[in-house]
Amino acid sequence: MLRDLTPQALMMGVLAAFVGYAASFAIVLAGLAGVGASPAQAATGLFFASLGMGLASLVLPLVTRTPAAVAWSTPGAAFLAAGAALPGGFAEAVGALILCAGLLFLTGIVPALGRIVGAIPKPLASALLAGVLFRLCLAPALGLASDPWLVAPVIAAWALGLAWHRMAAMPLAVAAFLAVLAFGVDVPAASGPVLRLPELAPVAPLFTWNAALSVALPLYLVTMAGQNIPGFAVLDLNGYPVNRGFLLKGTGLVSLGIAPFGAVPVNMSAITAAMMAGPDAGADPARRYWAAVVSGGIYCALALAAGAVAALAVVAPAALITGVAGLALIPAFVAAMRAAFAEGGQTEAPAVTFLVVASGMAAFGIGGAVWGLGLGAAIWTLTARARR
Angle, in degrees to the nearest 10, between helices 122-137 and 318-340: 160
pLDDT value of residue 215: 92
Distance between CA 200 and CA 41 in Å, rounded?
Answer: 7
pLDDT value of residue 66: 93
Nearest to 208 by CA among 200, 217, 199: 217
Contact status, residue 141 vs residue 151, Cβ threshold 8 Å: no
Q: Is 344 exposed, middle or buried (0-12, 13-18, 19+ CB in 10 A)?
A: exposed
Contact status, residue 17 vs residue 69, Cβ threshold 8 Å: no
**Which amino acid type is present at position 69?**
A
pLDDT value of residue 368: 82
* Domain regions of the chain by residue span: 2-193+206-387
Contact status, residue 22 vs residue 170, Cβ threshold 8 Å: yes
pLDDT value of residue 105: 96
| Length in residues, the chain | 388
Kindly report the pTM of this predicted structure. Answer: 0.85
pLDDT value of residue 187: 59
pLDDT value of residue 157: 94
SS3 readout for the chain: CHHHCCHHHHHHHHHHHHHHHHHHHHHHHHHHHHCCCCHHHHHHHHHHHHHHHHHHHHHHHHHHCCCCCEEECHHHHHHHHHCCCCCCHHHHHHHHHHHHHHHHHHHHHCHHHHHHHHHCCHHHHHHHHHHHHHHHHCHHHHHHHHCHHHHHHHHHHHHHHHHHCHHHHHHHHHHHHHHHHHHHCCCCCCCCCCCCCCCCCCCCCCCCHHHHHHHHHHHHHHHHHHHHHHHHHHHHHCCCCCCHHHHHHHHHHHHHHHHHHCCCCEEECCHHHHHHHCHHHCCCHHHCHHHHHHHHHHHHHHHCCHHHHHHHHHHCCHHHHHHHHHHHHHHHHHHHHHHHCCCCCCCHHHHHHHHHHHHCCEECCEEHHHHHHHHHHHHHHHHHHHHC
pLDDT value of residue 195: 59
Per-residue pLDDT of the chain (388 residues; tens, 9 = 90+): 677 788 888 888 888 888 788 878 889 999 999 899 998 999 999 999 999 999 999 999 999 999 998 999 988 999 998 877 788 999 999 999 999 999 999 999 998 888 888 888 889 988 988 888 898 899 999 999 988 988 999 999 999 998 988 778 888 988 898 898 888 776 565 555 555 677 788 789 999 999 999 999 999 999 998 889 888 988 888 889 889 999 999 999 999 999 999 999 999 987 788 888 888 788 888 899 999 999 999 999 999 988 888 887 777 888 888 888 888 888 888 888 998 998 877 889 999 999 998 988 877 777 788 889 899 999 999 988 877 7
Distance between CA 128 and CA 74 in Å, rounded?
Answer: 14
pLDDT value of residue 321: 85
